[in-house]
């Protein structure tokens, strides 16, 4: 029968560990000075195999019987305790650990140190692997606890290496490739670009070990590849994410995280032409038995599984009423003396000697102008040479006449007509350098055929005009297959435009099927094949895009959960890894739109002291008393909430293994403190409201363990979900409130 000594055995975790070990048939010696622990936690134990010794382990102690395992759990562990007992906290980490290790050495016992995720400080790496060294402030208010545990870990490893003590350390507590695209709103406009481009966009705010921004061709270099990770803190940035019931929302992202990977990488293709390139350990969301999304690592994914794609995209909407040509000129950093200003009375000489065609100083962005821009993306091109600057549009004469009206009425420019011939369609041409500079400013520089972010983020009643202009101009809206008015086809040869159209249609809740096709022009080029993308919308009602902002329905041969569509995985192919991979951190949701629309992807329980300064006991005490729940900051900071029974299983599994190096034990599914507060109110049926106070110094923003080693080495992972664990904790808290003071 093994004998286990548990320091801090009358504390929250220690008492649960004593219960577990006794239940497994072990003899248990509980050592505690009850400074932060409580005899009430072990009062229920009536077992001849249990022995209690009241002692402060910062002083030497000995045990007069054999010991097989030493579980070193003792330490003030809550913010209130180590703020009240800073020196004692440091002594327990130093002298206490030294004494516990000395006992393990003398008894030839296996030793387990209950360390903490606090050794990572306010981490810059998410999730935190055991190889991460941390980001700790040694002189902050949390420093006494963080550094005590870090010293305890160093001491434990020294005893293992030099003294031969059999030790273990338990630290109690997903990525897209660089060239994969992400969708986010930076507070100014919607952006769809690669993760690497997004990182460059935020590079001025990067935080990383050994990272220094440096100039490269007038731009900020991404990062030092030798750095273990880079965190780009974000403010005012949102990404499309889903919450309960698969409802898509524009959720706050607080960081973009870049880190190297040694993982194999894969491209996952799905029905509807949606795909994503991710690391093998990155999770996508599969359809669970109840239809709700469940995360699954790509390594475990199989062809035929159904993964979540965005059936609707929610983003912040911003209208744009006008554009100033003076702003255009300033943005281009041009000499203001190169501008000619018109007004009555300037004189005929100035008018006669002007060199450029004039445009209005302020241009209204009307519905007609949005339609014109959509038509330009479908049928237009820009050309500029030292002696000329022009825009040309070709197509059906009825469309060109409408476009000419927009140019003349909105822009005040002259239109030159070219009649249709046997070889080419009719065309209109507009000569104006200022027009080209305006197009540059609006996002169509260098003839880029895409939908700029400011248009993608317009209110739906305005975005529809751009889509209608493109629909009418792209030339594939006639013929027998479209005559019934139940199908749309949007075609393009440009990859960027294809993906922008996916986003634009997703704004209305429409899911196009995307396919790569080839055409031939046999009369001109024989059998040469020309690739192009086609986006097909079938069974859409109403048919006209100009009615979609009032509501549109689409019949799909796929199941839905809220705003998510379950797309069948059609292929999983290994691809070459990029030097860095990326994740958005979205507190409370931890999912985001990536690829071409695929949705990519703390400890509590009975006997926690109500006033120990940690979130759950504080929330429970406040909720059960119908007092306001206090959330610090905006509540977006996340924690790894792991129910105590799961945690104890992990500690014992580690102690009984042969593993010596640190192992994270916790719940990788983090939750924001604001979400936890709301869940506590719901489960306690409290009348409490939530109030917000200033964020404490050094309060970490994210806690998320990487439990890969625990899974692989111990076969351990959490089994009890947060709501069920909370229900058990609430029952205990209710009993505690009934006790006489």
- Classify residue 664 by burial, with Cβ atoms within 10 Å: 0-12, 13-18, 19+: buried
Question: Is it the case that residue 7 has pLDDT exceeding 90?
Answer: yes
Rounded Cα–Cα distance for residues 168 and 707 (Å): 16
Dihedral-angle region of residue 603 (phi above 0 means left; psi in -120 to 50 means alpha; beta otherwise): beta
If one compares 306 and 254, the residue with the highest pLDDT of the two is 306
- Rg of the chain over CA atoms, in angstroms? 32
Contacts of 61 (CB under 8 A, 6+ apart): 31, 53, 55, 99, 103
What CATH number belongs to 322-560? Answer: 3.10.28.10
Q: Where in the chain is the domain with CATH 2.170.16.10?
A: 176-314+563-600
What's the angle, vertex CA 721, arms to CA 718 and CA 725, rounded to 5?
A: 105
Rounded Cα–Cα distance for residues 497 and 503 (Å): 10
Rounded Cα–Cα distance for residues 470 and 467 (Å): 5
Q: Where in the chain is the domain with CATH 3.40.50.720?
A: 3-174+605-738
Structure pTM? Answer: 0.58
> Which two tokens mark 96?
């206490």
Question: Is it the case that residue 196 has pLDDT exceeding 60?
Answer: yes
- Check whether the bond before 127 is cis (ω within 30° of 0): yes
**What confidence tens digit (pLDDT) does each residue in 440-455 have?**
889 888 778 889 999 9
pLDDT at 223: 36
Question: Is it the case that residue 346 has pLDDT exceeding 50?
Answer: no
Q: Where in the chain is the domain with CATH 3.10.28.10?
A: 322-560
- Check whether the bond before 542 is cis (ω within 30° of 0): yes
If one compares 392 and 356, the residue with the highest pLDDT of the two is 392
The lowest-confidence range among 239-253, 264-278, 352-366, 645-659 is 352-366
The pLDDT of 65-91, averaged and rounded, is 85
Question: Is it the case that residue 470 has pLDDT exceeding 90?
Answer: yes
pLDDT at 139: 81
Residues in the chain: 741
The pLDDT of 173-199, averaged and rounded, is 83
Q: Give SS3 for 476.
A: coil
**What confidence tens digit (pLDDT) does each residue in 634-682 have?**
888 776 677 778 888 888 999 889 888 888 887 777 778 888 899 989 9
Question: Is it the case that residue 547 has pLDDT exceeding 60?
Answer: yes
Contacts of 57 (CB under 8 A, 6+ apart): 7, 31, 33, 74, 92, 95, 96, 99, 100
Rounded Cα–Cα distance for residues 65 and 81 (Å): 32
CA distances from 385 to 355, 433, 449 (A): 16, 10, 20
DSSP collapsed to 3 states, 149-212: HHHHHHHHHHHHHHHCCCEEEEEECCCEECCCEEEEECCCCEEEEEHHHHHHHCHHHCEECCCC
> In the block, which residue shows the tokens 């625990």?
710
> In the block, which residue shows the tokens 């209110």?
459
pLDDT at 201: 81
**What confidence tens digit (pLDDT) does each residue in 587-608 have?**
777 788 988 889 887 234 444 4
pLDDT at 338: 58
Class of the CATH domain delimited by 176-314+563-600 = mainly beta
Contact 636, 587 (CB under 8 A): yes
**What confidence tens digit (pLDDT) does each residue in 98-129 have?**
999 999 999 999 999 988 777 767 767 666 66
pLDDT at 340: 54
**What confidence tens digit (pLDDT) does each residue in 477-514 have?**
544 555 556 688 888 889 899 999 999 999 999 999 99
Strands 3-7 and 69-72: parallel
Full DSSP string of 598-659: EEE--EE-TT--TTSS-HHHHHHHHHHTTPPEEEETTS--EE--EEHHHHHHHHHHHHTSS-
Is the domain spanning 3-174+605-738 CATH 3.50.50.60? The answer is no
Strands 581-585 and 255-259: antiparallel
pLDDT band at 367 (very low <50, low <70, confident <90, very high): very high
Of 9, 26, 20, the residue nearest 71 (C-alpha): 9
If one compares 435 and 78, the residue with the highest pLDDT of the two is 435
Mean of all residue pLDDT scores within the chain:
81
> In the block, which residue shows the tokens 């009993």?
735
Q: Across 266-275, 594-603, 609-618, 687-696, which has the greatest mean pLDDT? A: 266-275
């Amino acid at each position: 029968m093994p004998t286990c000594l548990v320091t801090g055995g009358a504390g929250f975790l220690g008492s649960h560990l004593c219960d577990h070990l006794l239940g497994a048939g072990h003899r248990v010696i509980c050592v505690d000075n009850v400074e932060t622990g409580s005899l009430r936690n072990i009062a229920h134990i009536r077992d001849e195999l249990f022995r209690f010794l009241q002692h402060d382990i910062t002083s030497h102690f000995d045990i007069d019987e054999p010991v097989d395992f030493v579980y070193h759990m003792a330490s003030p562990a809550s913010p209130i305790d180590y703020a009240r007992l800073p020196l004692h906290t440091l002594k327990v980490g130093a002298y206490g650990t030294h004494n516990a290790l000395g006992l393990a050495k003398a008894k030839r016992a296996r030793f387990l140190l209950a360390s903490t995720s606090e050794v990572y400080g306010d981490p810059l790496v998410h999730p935190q692997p055991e190889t991460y060294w941390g980001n700790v402030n040694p002189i902050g208010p949390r420093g006494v606890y963080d550094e005590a545990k870090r010293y305890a870990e160093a001491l434990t490893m020294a005893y293992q290496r030099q003294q031969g003590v059999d030790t273990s350390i338990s630290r109690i507590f997903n990525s897209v490739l660089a060239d994969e695209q992400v969708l986010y709103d930076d507070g100014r406009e919607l952006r769809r670009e690669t993760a690497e481009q997004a990182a460059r966009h935020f590079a001025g705010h990067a935080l990383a070990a050994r990272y220094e921004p440096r100039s490269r061709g007038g731009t900020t270099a991404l990062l030092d590849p030798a750095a273990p990770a880079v965190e780009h803190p974000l403010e005012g940035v949102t990404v499309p994410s889903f919450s309960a019931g698969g409802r898509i929302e524009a959720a706050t992202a607080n960081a973009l995280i870049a880190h190297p990977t040694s993982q194999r990488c894969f491209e996952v293709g799905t029905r509807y032409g949606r795909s994503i390139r991710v690391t093998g350990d990155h999770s996508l969301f599969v359809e669970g038995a109840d239809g709700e999304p469940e995360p699954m690592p790509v390594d475990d994914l199989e062809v035929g599984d159904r993964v979540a794609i965005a059936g609707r995209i929610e983003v912040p909407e911003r209208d744009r009423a006008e554009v100033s040509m003076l702003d255009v000129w300033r943005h281009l950093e041009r000499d203001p003396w190169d501008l000619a200003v018109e007004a009555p009375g300037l004189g005929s000489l100035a008018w006669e000697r002007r060199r450029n065609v004039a445009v209005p100083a302020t241009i209204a962005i009307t519905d007609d102008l949005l339609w014109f821009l959509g038509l330009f993306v479908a049928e237009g091109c820009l050309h500029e040479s030292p002696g000329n600057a022009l825009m040309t549009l070709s197509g059906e004469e009825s469309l060109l006449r409408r476009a000419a009206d927009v140019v003349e009425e909105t822009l005040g420019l002259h239109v030159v007509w070219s009649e249709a011939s046997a070889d080419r369609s009719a065309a209109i041409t507009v000569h104006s350098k200022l027009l080209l500079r305006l197009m540059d400013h609006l996002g169509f520089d260098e003839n880029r055929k895409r939908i700029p972010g400011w248009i993608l983020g317009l209110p739906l009643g305005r975005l529809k005009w751009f889509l209608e202009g493109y629909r009418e101009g792209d030339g594939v809206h006639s013929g027998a297959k479209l005559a019934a008015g139940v199908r749309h086809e949007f075609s393009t040869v440009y990859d960027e435009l294809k993906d922008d159209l996916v986003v634009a249609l997703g704004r209305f809740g429409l899911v196009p099927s995307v396919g790569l096709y080839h055409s031939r022009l046999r009369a001109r080029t024989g059998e040469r094949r020309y690739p192009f993308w086609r986006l097909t919308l079938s069974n859409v009602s109403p048919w006209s895009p100009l009615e979609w902002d009032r509501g549109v329905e689409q019949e799909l041969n796929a199941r839905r959960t809220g705003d998510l569509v379950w797309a069948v995985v059609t292929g999983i192919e290994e691809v070459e890894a990029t030097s860095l991979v990326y994740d958005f951190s979205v507190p409370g949701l931890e999912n985001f739109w990536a690829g071409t629309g695929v949705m990519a992807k703390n400890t509590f329980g009975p006997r926690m002291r109500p006033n120990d300064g940690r979130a759950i006991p504080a929330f429970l005490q406040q909720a059960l008393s119908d007092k306001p729940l206090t959330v610090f900051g905006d509540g977006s900071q996340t924690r790894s909430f792991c129910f105590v029974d799961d945690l104890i299983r992990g500690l014992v599994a580690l102690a009984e293994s042969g593993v010596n190096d640190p192992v994270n034990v916790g719940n990788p599914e983090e939750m924001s403190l604001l979400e936890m507060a709301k869940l506590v109110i719901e489960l306690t049926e409290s009348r409490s409201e939530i109030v917000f106070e200033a964020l404490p110094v050094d309060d970490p923003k994210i806690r998320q363990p990487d439990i890969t080693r625990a899974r692989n080495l111990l076969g351990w992972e959490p089994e009890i979900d947060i709501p069920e664990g909370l229900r058990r904790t609430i029952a205990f808290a209710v009993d505690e409130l009934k006790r006489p003071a």
